[in-house]
Structure 1
Amino acid sequence: MPQPLDAGAVCRWSRLAVRALGAAREDIDAINVYPVPDGDTGTNLYLTVESAAQAVAAAEAGEPSLGEAARALAHGALIGARGNSGTILAQLLRGMADVFAAEREPATPATLAAALDRAAASARQAVAHPVEGTMLTVATAAADAAVLAAGEGAREAARKGAEPPAAGLAEVLAAAREAARAALAATTGQLPQLAAAGVVDAGGSGLVTVLDALDAALFGGPPADAPRARPVRPAQPLPHPGEAGGGCAEPAADVGFEVTYLLDAADEAVPALRERLDALGDSLVVVGGDGLWHIHIHTDQAGPAVEAGIAAGRPHRVRITGLVPAVPPLAGSPEGGPTHGRAVVAVLPGPGLAGLCAEAGATTLTVRPGERPGGGELAAAIAGTRAREVVLLPNDKELWHAAAAAAEQARVAGARVAVIPTRSPVQGIAALAVHTPERRFDEDVVAMTSAAGATRFGEVSVAERQAWTMAGVCQRGDVLGLVDGDVVVIGGELPEVAGQVLERMLAGGGELVTLVLGADAPAGLADGLTERLRQGHLGVDTVVCAGQQSAPLLIGVE
């Protein structure tokens, strides 16, 4: 059923865009060949949108208007922008937010067209030297088509004998997406690097994915795949460092660093800053406004680039990373490089299991129950180990894309990273139980993956609202029993539901049961379940742990 373009749609858009870019990240990285195949555009776009989605989620609790939600989206993208493509996307979102904030809610087709038009124009203004065949080209094509479909271009269309009828929201967005796809396909012939590799522009491909996510947020259904192809690498390496997918001119051959920072500065100080930075390097993008700016430049003079920011205002979150062929440091690492053997990073909901996992040899990243770390936070945790080999246990199926993006960042810095797809802390505990750092890395990863995969996981929680489940309709306050992520039992008493879940999990056999009690677990729950196992399942060992996850009980069966 079509949904209005309001604050709720922006919230859904942000979540769907994170999922879509997470799924497309590796493919977008693979077609990152302009101007060199350094393979980070998909990761940069994912991390940028992830930051934007986190800002929207924080604002969602305050029941924001359309304009407020859109501004939160743009602000989150601004402070978390990575690379040329992420920085340009942040400006695209800011341009849309400016229009949404000035119009009534929900947005009309004309408002959407105007938002896309403002986005494309402001992004071009932010890039010092725009180049066609890039993300900017795709954004402009989408905007032009949306304006025409909304009726803004009716006069010109009438002159050509093809005046369009009044369009609805679906028609405007469909026109924008179709034009974006056509423009993306054409980028292969617009830049020689893309033509040589037989691929489309990586940043433009990411933008198409974001537009598809907006369509899914408004009209449902899975977004269509953007036109991509795995690159055919050119015989000779391309000579210029930088990131594909932005809209900047090729940097000079002696450019050695990517410098980015946030800048608190008066708007009137920015023109002089742009001029000063433009003389220091290439791939210059300056986005933002209202006193907060994001600066991105490729330069061989990293110090003067930061000093220019100091002259204009207050730089913070300064990042200086080496461009190809230099190896950039791990995000969050004070010295930049791995220094010792192997580490395991385990994400845990609350500190309750931290001691147990630390005893098993893990570095723990604890988050508050119900919250999830972003890719940047995971990358910093990996970097903080200073290990050459790292095993990451996300322990949550919703963290898979963030974990994959964080691992990719670490690999670029020279570390070997394996992400074991643990969906629950009990699977992480099982993997840690067989962790042996003296083994070869691949053998250790295989053993840990096998142990996690052989562990069924269950959960007993309380429903927060009415919802459809695989076991029927639940009401707020019902006790839910889940096995491997699916609701299998709905009941009224937590101990009874926990017992039913345990019996279902043991129906297929099991030798070890792990019970992780949450802070809200009723007194005597573990004793009751242990006694039930002693009487009905001889030979099954039980381990009871104290956790602080939001669910009263987690169950693992090995």
Structure 2
Amino acid sequence: MPQTLDAETVRSWCSLALEALGREREEIDATNVYPVADGDTGTNLYLTVESAAHAVEAVFAAHETGGSVPAPGDAVRAMAHGALIGARGNSGTILAQLLRGMADVLAGDGTRETHGADGAGAGDHLARALRRAAGLAREAVAHPVEGTILSVASAAADAAEQARGGTAATARAAHAGARTALDATPGQLAVLDRAGVVDAGGRGLLAVLGALVQALSGQAPAAFTAAPRRPGEPAVSPADEGPGAFGSCDADDGPAFEVIYLLEAGDDAVIRLRARLDRLGDSLVVVGGDGLWNVHIHVDDAGAAVEAGVEAGRPYRIRITHFGAAERAPEQVQRAVVAVVPGEGLAGLCAEAGATTVLARPGEPPASGELVEAIRRAHAREVVLLPNDAALRHTAAAAAEQARAEGVRVALIPTRAAVQGIAALAVHQPDRRFDEDVVAMTSAAGATRYAELAVAERQSWTMAGICQAGDVLGLIEGDVAVIGADLAATAEAVLTRMLLAGGELVTLVLGEDVPDALADRLEAHVREGHLAVDTVVYRGGRQSAPLLIGVE
């Protein structure tokens, strides 16, 4: 068996970690009580490692065409990068930073050591990697708390530095140290002691370290079993806890939303971002480097957290999850809505309405796996799925089928535009019968005609005639109906056509660079010709179309 972290061992480590988290995912989810008892830590860690494994496989696939294998450094960097871009939740984000810290050392000096057949001497190299990982993870957390995955990572590094032998021996020592630290977490964090559980994130890290032991030695460590304890007997006194030691998410009045996004930004901008986000909420973790970061925070104002990212750089893959009072407990809520949205502004709007959102980035429609993961995050027995794009019809159907196979009742409403999704959400009532709610939402969506404005990229033939590159196109129900040279005039022409068939409410969703003056002009245009028609305006943020229009 390999005794050093060459590329194949890194590949095996990722695969074994994914298998281990797959086996333990539900049990880890069930013990998730900190920082929010939303029962998804195991799932988040699994998805984070799944992204890391896919990145490593992509590196191997790229080398197979040339008949070679990746360099060890390439494999370990791919693992860290994959975890960064796919990190989910608080613990998943911290795990991504742990892997990045290890990669800094392992890829920086090369992972294959020449210190004997058993890897003697390479153990020190692994110990340095674990120490770097633990240090970076603590730096990434705004307010580190003991009794969490951070404590388990530090204990693993401590034990690794005391080990003697090669990488396999060092990995075994790190795993043993982590196991001891994990069993001690209820004595460090009162919320764990009251629930009678160990830290869920720390348990996930133990599974990842166990996979490393197996990849290096060929022998899997014994499965973790928490030491027996009686819930409700505090292991730390209130005086030991200190004010705010557990963060506001441990209370019933904690923040309402979890916001996660990837961010392209420079180091100085991220320093300012950390300070701003720290004032907005808690559970703040910012990981990454070299211009790419993963931002995680719990806040009441999801829009402000996203806006802070926009000011710092370019946020994308934005995920906003509404916790809700019922979602704080491990039990499922009865019903939830999952909506695909084309811009950050609408993501915040839909989240405030109680929906779990999936961001459709320009040119990057979500895959069925992203929709399934969003359905799981909703923690509901019944889910209404709003794809809000005709092109996502088959993708959404596949996601719905998979979720049904997992025991979730899913109703797919074939919304073809974001404005139809907004209309459906407006009439959503989770306290009425599921079928009645779905019928009402479907009716509202179907009664909403939709349009969007786009800019032609090249000369082409359309239903409205030949357009030239740079022309403004007004698309109604997916077909080009108006060709113009000016955004405002074209929008007025589109509105005039749509209102010929009547209407009671006009919805305007403005893109990031569209001035407020356009909305004012269009509101006046509607008012002049249709006194009884109301107009509402939303900011969509960065979206593929400069203007979306709905008429109900």
SS where residue 284 of structure 2 aligns?
strand
The answer to whether the aligner puts 1:227 opposite 2:225 as a matched pair is yes
Q: Note the C-alpha offset of 1:376.
A: 3.3
Aligned with 1:376 (options 342, 345, 370): 370
Aligned with 2:212 (options 211, 214, 217): 214
Partner amino acid, structure 2, of 1:416: R
Q: Note the C-alpha offset of 1:233.
A: 7.8
The answer to whether the aligner puts 1:51 opposite 2:51 as a matched pair is yes
Q: Which residue in 1 is equivalent to 2:102?
A: 96
Q: Which residue in 1 is equivalent to 2:283?
A: 283
SS where residue 279 of structure 1 aligns?
helix
SS where residue 8 of structure 2 aligns?
helix
Distance in 1, matches of 2:160 and 2:300, equals 40
Aligned with 1:416 (options 383, 388, 409): 409
The answer to whether the aligner puts 1:4 opposite 2:4 as a matched pair is yes
Q: Which residue in 2 is equivalent to 1:116?
A: 130
Q: Note the C-alpha offset of 1:333.
A: 4.0
Residues 331 and 376, structure 1, Cα contact 8 Å, conserved in 2: no
Residues 205 and 227, structure 1, Cα contact 8 Å, conserved in 2: no
Q: Note the C-alpha offset of 1:303.
A: 1.2
Distance in 2, matches of 1:282 and 1:267, equals 21
Partner amino acid, structure 2, of 1:113: A
Aligned with 1:135 (options 118, 127, 149): 149
Paired residue total: 344
TM-score by length of 2: 0.56
Q: Which residue in 1 is equivalent to 2:79?
A: 73
Q: Once the two structures are superposed, what CA deviation does each residue of 1:330-351 show, in whole Å capped at 9, x if it has no partner? A: 6664468999xxxxxxxxxxxx
Q: Which residue in 2 is equivalent to 1:15?
A: 15
Of the structure 1 ranges 83-92 and 97-106, higher mean CA displacement relative to structure 2 is found in 97-106
Q: Which residue in 2 is equivalent to 1:261?
A: 261
Q: Note the C-alpha offset of 1:193.
A: 1.3
Distance in 1, matches of 2:218 and 2:339, equals 38
Correspondences of 1:419-430 after superposition (within 5 Å)? none
SS where residue 101 of structure 2 aligns?
helix
Q: Once the two structures are superposed, what CA deviation does each residue of 1:308-343 show, in whole Å capped at 9, x if it has no partner? A: 11111001011111124265966664468999xxxx
Q: Note the C-alpha offset of 1:383.
A: 10
Correspondences of 1:192-341 after superposition (within 5 Å)? 192-228=190-226, 249-251=247-249, 253-325=253-325, 333-334=340-341
Q: Note the C-alpha offset of 1:381.
A: 8.8
Distance 1:383 1:122, change over 3 A: closer
Q: Which residue in 2 is equivalent to 1:241?
A: none
The answer to whether the aligner puts 1:86 opposite 2:92 as a matched pair is yes
Partner amino acid, structure 2, of 1:267: D
Aligned with 1:126 (options 121, 140, 159): 140
Distance 1:292 1:410, change over 3 A: farther
Q: Once the two structures are superposed, what CA deviation does each residue of 1:348-400 show, in whole Å capped at 9, x if it has no partner? A: xxxxxxxxxxxxxxxxxxxxxxxxx895364369999x99479xxxxxxxxxx
Residues 29 and 40, structure 1, Cα contact 8 Å, conserved in 2: yes
Q: Which residue in 2 is equivalent to 1:167?
A: 165
Distance 1:3 1:19, change over 3 A: same
Q: Once the two structures are superposed, what CA deviation does each residue of 1:122-146 show, in whole Å capped at 9, x if it has no partner? A: 0000000000000000000001111
Distance in 1, matches of 2:30 and 2:228, equals 6
Distance 1:374 1:45, change over 3 A: farther
Distance in 1, matches of 2:40 and 2:377, equals 18
Q: Note the C-alpha offset of 1:64.
A: 1.8
Partner amino acid, structure 1, of 2:258: E
Q: Once the two structures are superposed, what CA deviation does each residue of 1:501-523 show, in whole Å capped at 9, x if it has no partner? A: xxxxxxxxxxxxxxxxxxxxxxx
Q: Note the C-alpha offset of 1:234.
A: 6.9
SS where residue 296 of structure 1 aligns?
strand
Distance in 2, matches of 1:381 and 1:208, equals 27
Partner amino acid, structure 2, of 1:147: E
- Unpaired stretches in structure 2, ≥5 consecutive residues: 64-68, 114-121, 234-244, 328-332, 342-349, 356-366, 385-398, 411-434, 436-552
Distance in 2, matches of 1:326 and 1:293, equals 31
Distance 1:382 1:113, change over 3 A: closer
Distance in 2, matches of 1:121 and 1:409, equals 42
RMSD: 3.7
Distance in 2, matches of 1:131 and 1:324, equals 24
Partner amino acid, structure 2, of 1:196: R
Residues 131 and 154, structure 2, Cα contact 8 Å, conserved in 1: yes
Distance in 1, matches of 2:339 and 2:306, equals 19
Q: Note the C-alpha offset of 1:231.
A: 10
Distance in 2, matches of 1:44 and 1:338, equals 21
Q: Which residue in 2 is equivalent to 1:448?
A: none
Partner amino acid, structure 1, of 2:144: P
Q: Which residue in 1 is equivalent to 2:187?
A: 189
The answer to whether the aligner puts 1:106 opposite 2:120 as a matched pair is no
Distance in 1, matches of 2:183 and 2:126, equals 24
Distance in 2, matches of 1:40 and 1:323, equals 12
The answer to whether the aligner puts 1:144 opposite 2:158 as a matched pair is yes
Correspondences of 1:148-159 after superposition (within 5 Å)? 148-149=162-163
Residues 193 and 231, structure 2, Cα contact 8 Å, conserved in 1: no
Distance 1:195 1:275, change over 3 A: same
Residues 200 and 227, structure 1, Cα contact 8 Å, conserved in 2: no
Of the structure 1 ranges 58-67 and 327-336, higher mean CA displacement relative to structure 2 is found in 327-336
Distance 1:331 1:81, change over 3 A: farther
Q: Once the two structures are superposed, what CA deviation does each residue of 1:415-457 show, in whole Å capped at 9, x if it has no partner? A: 437xxxxxxxxxxxxxxxxxxxxxxx9xxxxxxxxxxxxxxxx
Distance 1:169 1:143, change over 3 A: same
Overall identity of the aligned pairs, in %: 57
Distance in 1, matches of 2:277 and 2:406, equals 29
TM-score by length of 1: 0.56
Residues 263 and 309, structure 1, Cα contact 8 Å, conserved in 2: yes
Of the structure 1 ranges 6-15 and 251-260, higher mean CA displacement relative to structure 2 is found in 251-260
